[in-house]
Amino acid sequence: MAKEKKEKTAAKAQNDKNEAQEKLEALEKEVAELKEKLAKEKDDYMRLMAEFETFRRRTAEEKLALVGSAATDTIKGMLPVLDDLERAMEMLSGSSDEAAKEGTTLIYDKLFAYLKGKGLEVIEAKGQPFDTDLHEAVSQFPVPDEEAKGKVFDVVQTGYKLGGKVIRYAKVVVGV
């Protein structure tokens, strides 16, 4: 009987050991599945954060571009006024009306200083080599001097850059 009891106890102990082993394997499998799920969730989170960062950066860039575009359009609209003031100063240069000369020059200087403060730059053209990135040839003029060939002989309309980008090409006469 003692032997039978020992066998039952040994069988029960073996059975308990097998059950514990099965539970341990099940728990290890569950831990592995949870680790895999956690890694997937972490990867998804990192991707989502990267997408959000890209979205935020792109939105900020688009906003800056929109503001820059609006400023460019506004300044482009003011260029004809600047041209008119230049023509008025040119016409008044032969006049004896000093008040008109001074007033027109003052208005031109203030407007140009404001636009320059916003990043407007004059494209220097006269005497420069003709450059299609900056100049638009409206005419050609024969020049006797060989050095003047291929260079800007006269400026018909001043060109401008804003922030390093050409917003209006200089209309020029090129020496040939």
Note down pLDDT in tens along the chain; length 176 residues: 667 777 777 778 888 888 889 999 999 999 999 999 999 999 999 999 999 999 999 999 998 888 777 788 889 999 999 999 999 998 988 888 889 889 999 999 999 999 999 889 999 999 899 998 999 999 998 888 888 888 898 999 999 999 889 999 999 999 88
- pLDDT value, residue 120: 92
Q: What is the dihedral of CA 37, 39, 45, 49, to 10 degrees?
A: -170
In angstroms, the CA 13 to CA 116 distance is 93
Residue type, 43: D
User: Is 1.20.1250.20 the CATH classification of the domain at 120-176?
Assistant: no
- Judge whether 121 and 143 are in contact, CB under 8 Å: no
In whole angstroms, what is the distance from residue 127 CA to residue 49 CA?
Answer: 55
* pLDDT for position 2: 67
Taking phi over 0 as left and psi of -120 to 50 as alpha, with beta for the rest, 119 belongs to left
For the record, the structure tokens of 115 come out as 């636009």
Q: What is the pLDDT of residue 1?
A: 62
Helix axes 2-92 and 98-117, enclosed angle (nearest 10): 170
Give which of 169, 123, 127 is closest to 150, Cα–Cα.
127
Sheet harboring 165-168: ordered strands across?
120-123, 159-162, 165-168
